[in-house]
Structure 1
Amino acid sequence: MGQKKVDVITLGCSKNLVDSELLIKQFEASGFRVEHDSPNPTGDIVVINTCGFIGDAKEESIDMILRFAEARKQGDIEKLLVMGCLSQRYFEQLGTEIPEVDQFYGKFNWKDLIADLGLVYRADLRNERSLTTPDHYAYLKISEGCDRTCSYCAIPLITGKHKSRTIESLVEETKLLASKGVKELQVIAQELTYYGLDIYKKRMLAPLIQELSKVEGIEWIRLHYAYPAGFPSDVLDVMANNPKVCNYLDIAFQHISDPMLKSMRRNVTKAETLDLIRQFRAKVPGIHLRTTLITGHPNETEADFEALKDFVISQKFDRLGVFPYSHEEDTYAYKMYDDNVPDEVKQDRANIIMELQSNISRELNENKIGSTQKVIIDRKEADFYVGRTQFDSPEVDPEVLISTDKPMQIGQFYEVTINGAEDYDLLADW
């Protein structure tokens, strides 16, 4: 009998990806051959790591489960296992409605999946992962869960309360990653700025980042998913003074209208938001801000939306995404408000914001023409090498398309000259 093959399919965010990488390492330690996100999965066992955040993500997860439930029914695969946020949230319903799945697991009990296959969980590998990203960057998940109570968000219902990992365990994992060639850390959490409050009784993101930056081999550290209320200003001091910490912050503002911020339970006002952005830009000159916004939250008026448009135009965010509001079961908004903004209005408003942002992005990119930028090379594509600056996170942000007759090394840093700009991407020579 040949070596057994497992296909792991990851849906949703980078936090899910980290869980998949931990699981893959355990499978490989037990002698399995593993493929991740194969375009044509052919494994004896298929594991789907699901997302349950908003409507579109849930639909994608359900479609993927049904696709492989049919394959399981036809005998094309031996076992179908489902884990992650969707099955954490809808465990009983899914088990009843899709009996072809051999077993459902939640987000935190995936170790049971190992045991149920007759394998032994290797505790000595607890911080080790088989990276699915290019070798030179990795995601580092510093906590689980969220203590915030935003009206629209189902994440706390799925993941529970905020739970920080210790600084020691994160440094240990970072050293392991660096030993494998990782140069760039994407530090992630549902809510970065809350880090440490549960175990150290104070916000400890800045001290954590300082410790991570001491790990030899790590050259860039980028911060994702901050929250404006109670933002710890010492993080800005670290960013301004530590050359390894990218001048980049992913912070979700969601809205700017005071009625909407109150309705969304964001615990911050318009004035406080604008003051915080001023602080960011004063303390870290050249900082690039990525934010997300929501259109069509219950009771969003035309005046609220006009305020949101003005916010986008005036603040000129470097990176921006928009989600049309999704009315999620059991959230505060679901219980307290009617979903009274039509879907087409939500989407139209999102489209308008993204059109504004496209023009802003091009303008900001054009300002970089003639500058020299340090980039890390991710891949070669057609006639270009594709890299990113410190202001660009993989998968979600713009890229730099580099023309050169000389070979460049994937995963290495280079200084390139920006010679052109598109709506989102930059063009460069080396």
Structure 2
Amino acid sequence: GFLGVHDYAHIVPVVETLLSGRRVTGWDAPPCALPMASRLLSTPGYSAYVKIAEGCDNRCSYCAIPEIRGPFASRAIGDVCDECASLAERGVKEITLIAQDTTRYGEDREGASLLPDLLTSLGSIATLRWIRVLYCYPERVTDRLLSAVAGLPKVCNYLDIPIQHIDADILKKMNRKSTPGQIRALYSRIRGLGAGFSLRTTLIAGFPGESEAQFESLCRFIKECPFDHLGTFAFSPEDGTAAAGLPGQVPQRVREGRRERLMQIQAEVAKALNRRRDGRIYEVLTEGYDPDSGRYFGRTYAQAPEIDTKVFWRAEQGLSPGTFVKVRVTGSEEYDWIGEMTDEPAQ
């Protein structure tokens, strides 16, 4: 039998029923959530992901998540804040908010996004240092959200906005709601907030029907509108999705080649962006020590855990993971930053 993704709180009683020798042919208890304040952390003790919603209603043509996880359902602001406060009491200093679409948070409850309100509430948790938002849909990034991200002291000037492509026809086939013009306008608005704002996106290479000209337009876009961090995936058809049945399936070899080309371009983009950081001083969250290079490593507000680049530096004294230090950037190694510790204030 199967339990749905909302029924994980019932796993133990179901297993106990089976172990007692009885069969389980159905489970009538309503879906419920376990108390998240006491959850086990699978991340280092100074950083945690917090899911603010489950499910998705966006129906992108390449994605099976709505069928797997059901409709979008936000958690209550108080519930999320209680979990984050509990994590902060346990020593967590960085919270990364996630959902299939964080920008839709609260729409199912109040008819409008409550993400800015949630960020404001989380900002009052005394021992939290960084609050970060991932998985923002471009059409739902409002001026109110940008004001909250740019203006709240504990919210990192960082947004992850997966755009997937920049060609109008491809976006339409993907069932994405943003147009190329809207994506470019949003990019300009965010860059207008200041040079220190960090942007991440993801792209899909080799979507069905993608011509060489459409792919080249995507290559030009990431040169014209450079992102601080960029991930690229070769299209992979998922069973049961509309995209899997579209005509014009691109051969896997071509898909992989296009993905590699995009990442080669991004490597050059990253080099140019990193040169602009030389001499700047950042607050860095220490994550560990690399014995091979004899350097510590960590992240700034501009780098999300696990998916982005890191900063490497040397220090004479021992540094524990979770310690904040000041580092002046002195160079880079492809994507990662190299620096030196300093007592001067971050810029």
Q: How many residue pairs align between the two structures?
A: 325
1:327 matched residue in structure 2: 237
**1:318 aligns to 2:228 (yes or no):** yes
**1:376 aligns to 2:285 (yes or no):** yes
Structure 1 residues 108 and 420: CA distance shift in structure 2, 3 A = same
Structure 2 SS opposite 1:130: coil
The residue type paired with residue 186 of structure 2 is: L
2:318 matched residue in structure 1: 407
Q: Deviations over 1:147-179 (max 9, x none)?
A: 102111111111111000000001110110000
1:398 matched residue in structure 2: 309
2:344 matched residue in structure 1: none
Structure 1 residues 362 and 285: CA distance shift in structure 2, 3 A = closer
Q: Deviations over 1:291-343 (max 9, x none)?
A: 000011111001100100001111111000111111112212234x1352111
Per-residue deviation, 1:365: 1.3
The residue type paired with residue 361 of structure 1 is: A
2:340 matched residue in structure 1: 429
**1:116 aligns to 2:25 (yes or no):** no
Per-residue deviation, 1:392: 0.7
Structure 2 SS opposite 1:156: helix
Structure 2 SS opposite 1:417: strand
1:419 matched residue in structure 2: 330
2:208 alignment partner, one of 298, 304, 313? 298
The two structures have a TM-score, normalised by structure 2, of 0.90
Per-residue deviation, 1:125: 4.0
In 2, Cα distance between equivalents of 1:123 and 1:227: 26
Give the stretch that moved more between structures: 162-171 or 324-333.
324-333
Give the stretch that moved more between structures: 347-356 or 416-425.
416-425
In 2, Cα distance between equivalents of 1:257 and 1:309: 11
8 Å Cα contact 1:250/1:289 also seen in 2: yes
1:346 matched residue in structure 2: 255
Per-residue deviation, 1:106: 4.2
Structure 1 residues 125 and 227: CA distance shift in structure 2, 3 A = closer
Structure 2 SS opposite 1:198: helix
Q: Which has the higher contact order (CA 8 A, sep 6+)?
A: 2
1:42 matched residue in structure 2: none
Gaps of 5+ in 1: 1-102
Percent identity, aligned pairs only?
37
1:18-417 aligned within 5 A: 105-118=3-16, 125-335=35-245, 337-338=246-247, 340-382=249-291, 383-417=294-328
Give the stretch that moved more between structures: 251-260 or 363-372.
363-372
Structure 1 SS opposite 2:269: helix
Q: Deviations over 1:219-241 (max 9, x none)?
A: 10111001012322211101121
In 1, Cα distance between equivalents of 2:140 and 2:200: 18
Structure 2 SS opposite 1:275: helix
8 Å Cα contact 1:237/1:283 also seen in 2: no
In 2, Cα distance between equivalents of 1:166 and 1:339: 43
Per-residue deviation, 1:198: 0.4
Structure 1 residues 230 and 126: CA distance shift in structure 2, 3 A = closer
CA RMSD of aligned residues (A): 1.7
1:64 matched residue in structure 2: none
8 Å Cα contact 1:152/1:333 also seen in 2: yes
8 Å Cα contact 1:362/1:423 also seen in 2: yes
8 Å Cα contact 2:8/2:33 also seen in 1: no
In 2, Cα distance between equivalents of 1:233 and 1:377: 32
8 Å Cα contact 1:418/1:428 also seen in 2: yes
8 Å Cα contact 2:210/2:250 also seen in 1: yes
8 Å Cα contact 2:299/2:309 also seen in 1: yes
Per-residue deviation, 1:398: 0.4
8 Å Cα contact 2:6/2:33 also seen in 1: no
8 Å Cα contact 1:188/1:223 also seen in 2: yes
8 Å Cα contact 1:229/1:266 also seen in 2: no
In 2, Cα distance between equivalents of 1:328 and 1:172: 37
Q: Deviations over 1:35-80 (max 9, x none)?
A: xxxxxxxxxxxxxxxxxxxxxxxxxxxxxxxxxxxxxxxxxxxxxx
In 2, Cα distance between equivalents of 1:368 and 1:272: 29
Q: Deviations over 1:90-140 (max 9, x none)?
A: xxxxxxxxxxxxx76543322232223439xx9884432111211111001
Structure 1 SS opposite 2:339: strand
8 Å Cα contact 1:373/1:417 also seen in 2: yes
Per-residue deviation, 1:405: 1.2
Structure 2 SS opposite 1:370: coil
8 Å Cα contact 1:254/1:294 also seen in 2: yes
8 Å Cα contact 1:203/1:232 also seen in 2: no
Structure 1 SS opposite 2:132: strand
In 2, Cα distance between equivalents of 1:261 and 1:125: 39
Q: Deviations over 1:254-301 (max 9, x none)?
A: 000111111111111111110011111113542111000001111100
Gaps of 5+ in 2: 18-31, 342-347
In 2, Cα distance between equivalents of 1:284 and 1:210: 21
The two structures have a TM-score, normalised by structure 1, of 0.73
Structure 2 SS opposite 1:385: strand
